[in-house]
Amino acid sequence: MKIDSKSKKINKAWLHDHVSDPYVKQAQREGYRSRAAYKLKEIDEELKLIKPGQVVVDLGASPGAWSQYLRRRFAPKEAGAGGAAVGQLNGTIISLDLLEFEPIEGVQFIQGDFREEAVLQQLEAALAGRAVDVVVSDMAPNLSGIDSTDAARISHLIELAIDFSKQHLKPEGALVAKVFHGSGYSQLVELFRQSFKKVKPVKPKASRDRSAETFLVGIGLK
């Protein structure tokens, strides 16, 4: 069987970058499940979004690094093993993903497809009528490599996250969502501007330079 030498080189380069990545090493030291924790950490430190006592919904949560960061913010002086703080949780974290999710103490997890009404109903039941302070979304579709198809898939997920935020966020609440530069990006920025008073694109240092991902933050519903 022939192996494509180009893809072999790409995989080798990715593996080398991953192993030598300072954020990967830091995540291993600090007990985070992935380097993604530092993306949310940078966004939070810049914009001061996460505060103890809040209700936060984490969309596309697996493997759980963002939920781990949120957990630490809600019990910052009691960091424990496994990347989650232990003890009393001062706040509510509800996480959702299609994939399985290794439990984190105090984090309520719902497994299912965010696009399905039944899953949204589970999420609403978990909120029990409470308004949400912050929605964080690291959701990303399976990319096909076809620009128009991928842009449509990404837009659909962002539209769902914005729609959920409009229905459940507090008036001054915030949405943090992963998007990708490329086809459809300017339309997503415009969608955020139509929905939020303040919109800020953020490219955290923890997001690799060559990655097309960036994050849009919308604060205060219009």
Cβ(25)–Cβ(185) under 8 Å?
A: no
Is 112 marked within a binding site? no
Q: Where do we find the tokens 């991953």?
A: 18
User: Is the bond preceding residue 63 a cis peptide, omega within 30 degrees?
Assistant: yes
Q: With CA atoms as reference, report the closest residue to 123 among 219, 177, 59, 40.
A: 59
Instruction: Enter the tokens of residue 157.
Output: 């997920």
Which of the following is catalytic: 39, 178, 197, 205?
A: 178
178 is catalytic: yes
Q: Is 150 annotated as a binding residue?
A: no
- The helix (run of H) or strand (run of E) holding residue 94 is strand 92-97
Amino acid in the structure at residue 79: A
Has 14 been labeled as part of a binding site?
no
Distance CA 220, CA 170 (A): 8
Active site positions, annotated:
178
Residue numbers in the known binding site are: 64, 66, 97, 113, 138
Binding residues for S-adenosyl-L-methionine: 64, 66, 97, 113, 138
